[in-house]
A = this chain, B = another copy of it.
């Protein structure tokens, strides 16, 4: 007990005793077992479970980086989970992670299995759902309105005079944020009297190459498309390279719009039309809110980080 007090610097011991304890620590090569501490106090650990769909999608790595940096600076550890966009994977992961008594959870997306939601509600663990804004989160939420960002992009493209619109993405999941963007985009086009002639949802990750061959597919099925909105910037950059290879002029022959403003956009010969989102900020904010709750303080349940349309030169 005295040793425990010394090691926690809790006070209630003499300098002589401290020296004696420290000498024994050194002699025995004592290494603390934090499991026991958590266990003893019936407390929570300093683990934070963080689930993201996958690491192949650059936007999530930025979010994850924001989360982990913030958590690390407050002496918390990230326990990673990749759900591969599959709800049952997420459910299993949630159950496993909760059995390790985490201090909190961060989940990407707002769609969870009914059993997962039931478990989460019963777990009494602070929780932040990120990415997609959710007006009635299980606990807390940080994200942006993806539908609105798609809608704004659609409206913007309409003001540019386009009438025949296309979309290329990779998501098949109706509850997905990318699908919300597509829905917003489609709604804006409908409201404005345009026509969404083709929408392509590839079975792939939203990277450069799917943008490349997706554009090829879309243009071959409808050569009259005037502008294409992509799931993210990386896909749009793939499209830009496809057009360059095929001598298709941008924005003369076709307009290209991305989403998310990823790093690659900074080196293109022209400014990509896109939507700016502060991915790192989402992660940081999620971690901050979670840590507030973990420490017993309160936090606003819903935070909207917003987005900005970047007009660019590709439309």
- On A, residues with C-beta under 8 Å from B are 29, 31-36, 38-39, 45, 47, 50, 54-56, 58, 61-62, 64-65, 68-69, 72, 75, 77-82, 93, 96-101, 122-123, 207-209, 211-212, 237-238, 241-242, 244-245, 263-264, 266-269
**Oligomeric state, in number of copies?**
2
A100 contacts B241, CB within 8 Å? no
A237 CB contacts on chain B under 8 angstroms: 264, 267
A242 CB contacts on chain B under 8 angstroms: 267
* 13 A-B contacts (beta carbon < 8 Å): A31-B122, A32-B99, A35-B35, A35-B101, A36-B39, A58-B58, A69-B82, A77-B79, A80-B80, A208-B263, A208-B266, A237-B264, A244-B269
A101 to B266, CA, bound (A): 43
A93 CB contacts on chain B under 8 angstroms: 72
Kindly identify which residue among B56, B68, B81, B244 contacts A65, using a CB–CB cutoff of 8 Å: B56
A61 contacts B55, CB within 8 Å? yes
SS class, residues of chain A in contact with chain B: helix
When A101-B35, A264-B208, A264-B264 are in contact, do A96 and B81 touch as well, CB less than 8 Å?
A: no
A266 CB contacts on chain B under 8 angstroms: 208-209, 212
A100 contacts B34, CB within 8 Å? yes
A72 to B51, CA, bound (A): 12
Closest residue of B by beta carbon distance from A122 = B29
B45 contacts A55, CB within 8 Å? no
Closest residue of B by beta carbon distance from A242 = B267
